[in-house]
Structure 1
């Protein structure tokens, strides 16, 4: 965005003023950037999207003030802590299988190797291009990316999940390094992070554009918002989703992972109502804090030149398909809100264009007129935001599998915890392939007619050509992205190499 600055130069000459002239100078001013990321917030949990009964006046104003994507997704994950690979992909614009496990599966490498990864992140890239960079909140990929990418950070949480009162955090800056740990026992986590963001907004940025990354730990469990927000959602008034089931209809990987054990087996409507009530309370409590940040940005006079991105790092089932967690490729677990607002971006536009969360990196580059680094593997959404195109891709694919290195003895009557999922979407149709212990299950859904993914069309003769077409598209995407899945093998061959080189202890 440019502006004109007029200079009038007066020169005193021989006891009289001589008007020398005025000149117009175009000064290119880079936009500021504010990235707001929530933890486990699925698509539809914004009131303005008219899907769930949740109060979100501040997220509503982002939707009304920009472009929102109704088909935005994460790719998936290779283990149950979906947040970590999701954030690693967001940071780099790369698929997790083309990154080192040091940043997306830190539990799998020795402590001194955790977070080691040379791939450039978007904070690091914007910092190198003259931006003052700042972070607060959840950093789930290690300290190295914080140190490389941010000039400073306040109230940083290094980890996956934590309590929401007394959240243990640290500060960082390039001069002094890391502070000691500290915690505020009285404040809700989202308020702690909002306080840090507001403090940064109010600082003198010395005419440099800034890039803020505000990553909340809510609405991830434990879902303990301030009590007044829980009171807004009486459990008895909560509507159970249309695809509620007492249990998943067939075995998939990670059916007994920690997330799934948060509710009793079989699932009950009352139990699911409680989970959704607490989930909505966490979202509304965080919405209030997002409003504080937006208000302070406007008050500072910087809002008009700030690109704002809002999204969630993954979704959550909460009773849908008999599941509670996010370790699957159903819509409730991979579909996320994604909103862009700011200079040059139209207001109150909803687009059906396909998008990945990790499209954010190249999109911000285009919106800031920076070249997209060669390491980025995904696509910029700028043509959609500017109205030049109605989409940037025709096909998307997704994946989830239980962690490859998690070898367990198979006890009598118990599941071994392994399994792999791949999915592909083209137009309104989505094909899910689930492979577990020699059994391949196919599910085909028409998402336009069946958004709850309840009617499986895969076994109907009239859809056999559609299934085969989508398998071909899935294989193309696997080949193009470097996805290691081999669809002709049990559990897509993802465990073979590990099993061949590691003994079961």
Structure 2
């Protein structure tokens, strides 16, 4: 069993709670290399000092945040979380669609193992017996609970949660709406739009409290849960999922007021030269909103700026909710005994290359924000090591002293957490299924190395290679040219092809 497949020492959690950060960092380094084995379903350790886990999932959050260098974004709470731990600058999701991405992360398996490719397929319908992340914590004596959007479906993996949020933090039917200032349309049949939405793609809610919208109300409820956990005799694994900045971009007016629409920059609309035509985003759900034109290739400047303004407002709104959770941990005295991990389930196009939404294998759709903060992690660090969502499961296991189940296909990031300057894995990979005219279903497998993004498109039936794409970030940081056919890159292709083939086996890269 490799060094990332064992639990930390039994005294690890107690020591990290009582020792300074420098000594605690030394302890994790020792624990990572200690030759110890344990079964995934081992009995929970009898220690009141075991670390809690707060996992914060954010829908459609791209790494356009102040802590990632986007100084035009108001994200003070996610920024302070980053300052308290380690920010991953090159983290990638496995599939750029929410349901499949979450199924992969929470199972620890790559999409060709989960066989979840969209938002409609529940994980348990494909892997009924897989030991999921919350289930593993439940089996090890944790109180497990979720609020908001963690899996795409609220009913997926229901047996893995020991506590229903409604029990300790009941919802208020007068709060937590989707729209608060816009009369919603009744859902009616439309001649060309199959899934016509009830309201517009954006809403400035005006002078309303945060809890008028769903995420604000759920943050309020999550605070109540954290307060109850402070007096509870079990460690907790709490997953809180915020929907914004997912469409529609709705938020109270004070978050819209943080941005001047006239100062918003429209991204370059040039498409990737010589890219495969079916590799582009099809704008996903955006064109299902009644205020968005459908028969256009590019949105006009006014609509583009309105949407970007709404996205920014929704990001800042969610950032404020994240702050409430951190404040609750601090005020209840649990901050120094809790691992926090924050992630956005995939990237999102806000007019980049003229595209919207996600649904591609390109950098914008697959690169994600990911931040770890824990007592045993040195504060205020960034790392350029490549990381993937399948790495979160084994990492949380090691940080809390549990065995890493054998089915996990990622690698623990604890070596990087102890040394942010060390090299990570050779490549991170993402996949997406599309339809190629005249061929049928094709699977795009994309690997991201330090320099390149290499993508193979193969037929789902038979595996025949249809197309390849190669982006060189060293010479083309904006990712606008496919250079796969250029002579000077032919020497790189064999290594990239080998990495791509390895990634499909489920073996850690």
In the other structure, the counterpart of 1:399 is: 431
Deviation at 1:387, TM superposition (A): 1.7
Higher strand content, 1 or 2: 1
| CA gap 1:135/1:282 in 2 versus in 1, 3 angstroms | same
1:258-277 per-residue CA deviation (whole Å, 9 max, x = no partner) reads 33636542213433322221
How high is the TM-score relative to the length of structure 1? 0.75
Which piece of structure 1 moves more, 137-146 or 55-64? 137-146
List aligned pairs for 1:367-406, cutoff 5 A.
367-387=399-419, 390-402=422-434
In the other structure, the counterpart of 1:130 is: 141
Which piece of structure 1 moves more, 249-258 or 132-141? 249-258
Deviation at 1:132, TM superposition (A): 1.3
Deviation at 1:288, TM superposition (A): 0.8
List aligned pairs for 1:142-291, cutoff 5 A.
142-154=154-166, 164-165=178-179, 187-204=212-229, 205-242=231-268, 245=271, 250-252=276-278, 255-256=281-282, 258-259=284-285, 261=287, 264=293, 265-267=296-298, 268-291=300-323
Deviation at 1:146, TM superposition (A): 2.8
How many positions carry a matched residue from both structures? 424
CA contact (8 A) 2:55 2:340 kept: yes
- Secondary structure of 1:457's aligned partner: coil
Distance 2:457 2:287 in 1: 21
Bigger radius of gyration among the two: 1
- Secondary structure of 2:491's aligned partner: helix
Distance 1:240 1:388 in 2: 34
2:98 aligns with one of 74, 78, 83: 83
List aligned pairs for 1:66-105, cutoff 5 A.
66-76=85-95, 82-99=97-114, 101=116, 105=118
| CA gap 1:302/1:115 in 2 versus in 1, 3 angstroms | farther
In the other structure, the counterpart of 2:447 is: 424
Deviation at 1:340, TM superposition (A): 0.4
In the other structure, the counterpart of 1:140 is: 152
In the other structure, the counterpart of 1:473 is: 499
Q: Comparing both chains, which one has the higher relative contact order based on Cα–Cα distances under 8 Å and sequence gaps of 6 or more?
A: 2
Distance 1:445 1:249 in 2: 10
1:16-57 per-residue CA deviation (whole Å, 9 max, x = no partner) reads xxxxxxxxxx967211111011000012x2212113621000
1:111-145 per-residue CA deviation (whole Å, 9 max, x = no partner) reads xx858722111111111111111210013145141
How high is the TM-score relative to the length of structure 2? 0.75
| CA gap 1:345/1:261 in 2 versus in 1, 3 angstroms | same
CA contact (8 A) 1:402 1:418 kept: yes
In the other structure, the counterpart of 1:177 is: none
In the other structure, the counterpart of 1:32 is: 52
In the other structure, the counterpart of 2:329 is: 297
RMSD of aligned Cα (Å): 3.5
Distance 1:216 1:56 in 2: 15
Q: Structure 1: state its 5+ residue gaps.
A: 6-25, 167-183, 405-409, 483-505
| CA gap 1:417/1:108 in 2 versus in 1, 3 angstroms | farther
Are residues 1:352 and 2:378 paired? no
| CA gap 1:386/1:156 in 2 versus in 1, 3 angstroms | farther
Distance 1:88 1:277 in 2: 30
CA contact (8 A) 1:2 1:27 kept: yes
| CA gap 1:193/1:335 in 2 versus in 1, 3 angstroms | same
Which piece of structure 1 moves more, 362-371 or 187-196? 187-196
| CA gap 1:354/1:156 in 2 versus in 1, 3 angstroms | farther
Distance 1:233 1:478 in 2: 43
| CA gap 1:328/1:446 in 2 versus in 1, 3 angstroms | same
Distance 2:170 2:504 in 1: 36
CA contact (8 A) 1:65 1:347 kept: yes
